[in-house]
Amino acid sequence: MAEGKSISGGIVETIKTIVYALLLAGLIRTLIFQPFWIPSGSMKPSLLIGDFLFVNKFAYGYSAYSCPGYRGYNICFWAKGSDDRLWGGMPARGDVIVFRHPVTGQDYIKRLIGLPGDRIEMQGGQVILNGTPVPQDQIADFVEVFEAQGPARRTPRCLQTVGLGGACAKTQYVETLPGGVSHETLDFANRGSDRAGPFEVPEGHFFFLGDNRDNSVDSRFPQSASGVGYVPYENLIGRADRIIFSSAGRSILYFWTWRSDRFLRAVR
* 3-class SS letters over 163-192: CCCCEEEEEEEEEECCCCCEEEEEECCCCH
Per the DSSP assignment, residues forming a β-bridge with 200 are 119
Distances (CA, A) of 197 to 112, 128, 210: 16, 10, 16
Flag whether 173 is in a domain.
Answer: no
- Whether 228 and 261 share a structural domain: yes
Task: Catalytic residue, from 63, 110, 170, 219: name it.
Answer: 110
Per the DSSP assignment, residues forming a β-bridge with 239 are 56, 97
Is 251 an active-site residue? no
Q: Domain residues for 110?
A: 36-134+198-266
Phi, psi of 26 (to 5 degrees): -65, -40
- pLDDT of res. 268: 85
Nearest to 101 by CA among 225, 262, 203: 225
- Whether 125 and 82 share a structural domain: yes
Flag whether 106 is in a domain.
Answer: yes
Flag whether 238 is in a domain.
Answer: yes
- pLDDT of res. 29: 55
Flag whether 184 is in a domain.
Answer: no
- Whether 16 and 86 share a structural domain: no
Task: Catalytic residue, from 42, 46, 63, 219: name it.
Answer: 42
Flag whether 160 is in a domain.
Answer: no
pLDDT bracket for residue 214 (50, 70, 90)? very high
Q: What is the pTM of this model?
A: 0.83
Asked if 83 contacts 75 with a C-beta cutoff of 8 angstroms, the reply is no
- Whether 112 and 20 share a structural domain: no
Asked if 242 contacts 265 with a C-beta cutoff of 8 angstroms, the reply is yes
Residues in Cβ contact with 19 at an 8 Å cutoff, skipping those fewer than 6 apart = none
pLDDT bracket for residue 75 (50, 70, 90)? low
Could you give the number of structural domains in the chain?
Answer: 2
- Whether 20 and 111 share a structural domain: no
Flag whether 5 is in a domain.
Answer: yes
- Whether 235 and 218 share a structural domain: yes
CATH number where 106 lies:
2.10.109.10
- Whether 13 and 116 share a structural domain: no
Is 42 an active-site residue? yes
- Whether 128 and 96 share a structural domain: yes
At residue 182, what is the residue type?
S
pLDDT bracket for residue 61 (50, 70, 90)? confident
- Whether 115 and 215 share a structural domain: yes
- Whether 10 and 89 share a structural domain: no
Phi, psi of 109 (to 5 degrees): -130, 125
Flag whether 226 is in a domain.
Answer: yes
pLDDT bracket for residue 70 (50, 70, 90)? very low
Per the DSSP assignment, residues forming a β-bridge with 258 are 247
